[in-house]
């Protein structure tokens, strides 16, 4: 009997073991309209703790996610003094991965910091220096960090990521490796997230190598190629700030559908011909237009879907939506 029970327990624990990642969009846009800009949560589905991928918008994204039941698998205790938004924000986000210091990637983190708990902020040295010197300096905002100017409130701990070096993300099951990218001559970052030999990649703002006169994207593709070949890469999160009407001079370190196709040709060189078919690609950082006649999101969607030369599977999540890979 005891053996039977333990067998049943063993089987049921296998069944309940959730493989893969959950991603919740906190902010889907690349600026203009505050309230839904550049921020995502990611977790190993087998663990309730998230890491934020950029933090342009935080609390409005959690609110929207709660309304859309994207947090239904997260336990919120009955006896907490915090609202559901407050509890998820304070207790379930364990740290922030910041791709670069531009305002649309940090504004939510800054504005909600007065209600936040002790957390790590991870980034390449250039990103951490921007936060240290230009943000948490008592001039733009009080110094909530553990380094830099004036009295240190010690709520956030800066964690400088060395390029190409894997690091555990405290409080979660995830590990990260950072790779530098070129974003209009400014350094941005690709984060490769790993759990159990499965991967998700998140690109911060980035321009085409040819326009940027950089090899940042190609170098990142050398890393992704073998992972795609071995079917270990579950999704690519990459920006398309503009539709194809934007000429190269107007890109200012961003991608468009045409350039995504061009760059994926380079990626395919490293992953193998035909290997991108069916690959999950999440489009981020769409810059909305305020012109009546322009719907950038719709244009980008059509341009990518109508000319999907590699047969990838595109996603265009909006605020609060959950994706599982």
Q: Which residues bind Zn ion (CB under 5 A)?
A: 30, 102, 104, 205
Shortest distance, position 306 Cβ to Zn ion, whole Å: 26
Shortest distance, position 104 Cβ to Zn ion, whole Å: 4
Distance of alpha carbon 138 from alpha carbon 121, whole angstroms: 18
Shortest distance, position 37 Cβ to Zn ion, whole Å: 8
- Whose CA is closest to 90, among 52, 118, 65, 128? 118
- C-beta of 28 vs 275, nearer to Zn ion: 28
- C-beta of 205 vs 209, nearer to Zn ion: 205
- C-beta of 102 vs 132, nearer to Zn ion: 102
- C-beta of 23 vs 74, nearer to Zn ion: 23
Angle at alpha carbon of residue 121, lines to 160 and 183, rounded to 5°: 70
Nearest-CB residue for Zn ion: 102
Shortest distance, position 106 Cβ to Zn ion, whole Å: 10
Shortest distance, position 284 Cβ to Zn ion, whole Å: 9
- C-beta of 104 vs 187, nearer to Zn ion: 104
- Residue 47's CB is within 10 A of a number of other CB atoms, namely 15
């Amino acid at each position: 009997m005891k053996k039977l029970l333990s067998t049943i327990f063993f089987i049921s624990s296998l069944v309940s073991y959730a493989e893969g990642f959950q991603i919740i969009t906190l902010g889907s846009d690349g600026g203009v309209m505050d309230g839904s800009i550049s921020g995502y949560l990611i977790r190993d589905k087998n663990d309730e703790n998230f890491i934020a991928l950029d933090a342009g918008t935080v609390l409005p994204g959690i609110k929207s996610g709660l309304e859309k039941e994207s947090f239904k698998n997260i336990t919120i205790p009955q006896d907490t003094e915090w609202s559901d938004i407050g509890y998820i924000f304070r207790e379930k986000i364990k740290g922030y991965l910041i791709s670069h210091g531009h305002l649309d990637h940090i504004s939510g983190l800054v504005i909600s910091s007065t209600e936040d708990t002790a957390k790590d902020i991870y980034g390449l040295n250039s990103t951490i220096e921007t936060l240290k010197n230009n943000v948490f300096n008592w001039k733009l905002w009080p110094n909530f960090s553990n380094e830099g100017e004036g009295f240190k409130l010690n709520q956030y701990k800066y964690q400088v990521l060395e390029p190409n070096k894997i690091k555990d993300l405290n409080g979660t099951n995830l590990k990260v490796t950072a790779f530098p990218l070129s974003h209009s001559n400014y350094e941005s970052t690709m984060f490769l997230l790993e759990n159990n030999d499965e991967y998700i990649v998140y690109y911060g703002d980035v321009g085409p190598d040819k326009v940027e006169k950089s090899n940042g994207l190609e170098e990142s593709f050398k890393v992704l190629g073998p992972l795609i070949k071995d079917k270990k890469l579950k999704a690519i999160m990459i920006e398309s700030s503009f539709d194809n009407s934007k000429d190269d001079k107007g890109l200012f370190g961003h991608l468009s559908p045409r350039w995504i196709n061009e760059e994926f040709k380079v990626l395919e060189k490293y992953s193998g011909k035909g290997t991108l078919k069916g690959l999950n690609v999440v489009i981020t950082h769409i810059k909305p237009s305020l012109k009546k006649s322009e719907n950038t999101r719709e244009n980008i969607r059509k341009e990518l879907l109508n000319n999907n030369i590699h047969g990838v599977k595109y996603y265009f999540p909006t605020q609060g939506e959950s994706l599982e890979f």
